[in-house]
Amino acid sequence: MPIRNASQSIDHYVNNISTLYNQGNATEHSYRGDLQQLIESLAPEVRATNEPKRQSCGAPDYILTKKDIPVGFIEAKDVGDKDLEGKKKSVNKEQFDRYKASLNNLIFTDYIDFHLYIYAVLHAPSYREQYKEFLKIDFPRVPYPKDKDTFWALVQLGGEIRQIHLLESPKVEDYITTYPKDGDNMITRKITKTNIGYESIDNSKGRVWINDEQFFDNVPLIAWEFYIGGKKILKKCLSVQDNGVLKS
């Protein structure tokens, strides 16, 4: 599937899930059709069957088949389910233990964890190095996890990164940059081919000037060069400030 079509499929899925969730009366079954459409749009060779025939161990919500051969199973819980690993003494644990003992390539989801996995992958240094040229243009394909342990580890990391980006994590109070000079906060420095907006201090960090007097200090080079969807994020943030005035 072309990269842009994959991105559109994911965006469409996220919008539908958000709309249903915000209505306030959706259950875990309300999202089933959207997840089925997402899987089949991203992997056209795979058929995702909702409510398949019962297995000897129970009835997982989806069976994934390729040329009529089972290649995986999905058990979906309601959005925000707190026990997707089945560690607590709950209905989840009893059910999940049965499925884990009998089914291969099994994924448990609350319809959101897929995105936390993707979030972690897109921010992984090894991924960003391998696809650095593509990231300046668009999103390349997101690789499948090699096993369930990798999937869950990346889900956790993706959740932590999301909290940081939304300023919900206590880690955002541990500042690594400074803004040492007061002033009018007017953004007058223009970024050009000869003036990239970043002044190196050493090989790993530098200063980002907004005018002739004010700057952000100790900005990691890796942060300045960070791309998502063809956009350099810090440069984009500075260029969209209202009336050329830096805002918090």
pLDDT in tens, the chain (248 residues): 444 455 567 778 888 888 998 899 999 899 999 999 988 887 888 899 998 988 888 888 999 998 888 888 888 888 888 777 666 656 677 887 888 777 777 788 888 876 566 677 777 888 878 877 777 776 566 676 777 678 778 878 887 887 887 787 888 888 899 999 999 988 888 777 677 778 899 999 999 988 889 999 999 998 888 876 667 778 777 776 655 777 76
Write out pLDDT tens, residues 152-180. Answer: 788 788 878 878 877 878 888 888 999 99
Residue 217 has a CB neighbour count (10 Å cut-off) of 15
Q: Which helix (H) or strand (E) holds 29?
A: none
Q: How many helices (H) and strands (E) does the chain have?
A: 9, 9
């050009």: which residue's tokens? 192
Pair type for strands 47-50 and 231-232: unpaired
| pLDDT at residue 3 in the model | 43
Q: What is the dihedral of CA 225, 228, 233, 235, to 10 degrees?
A: 70
Write out pLDDT tens, residues 39-67. Answer: 888 788 889 999 898 888 888 899 999 88
| pLDDT at residue 232 in the model | 78
Among 10, 155, 123, residue whose Cα is nearest residue 18:
10
Q: What is the mean pLDDT of the chain?
A: 81
Among 83, 86, 84, residue whose Cα is nearest residue 108:
84
Residues 40 and 52: their CA atoms lie apart, in Å, by 16
| pLDDT at residue 2 in the model | 46
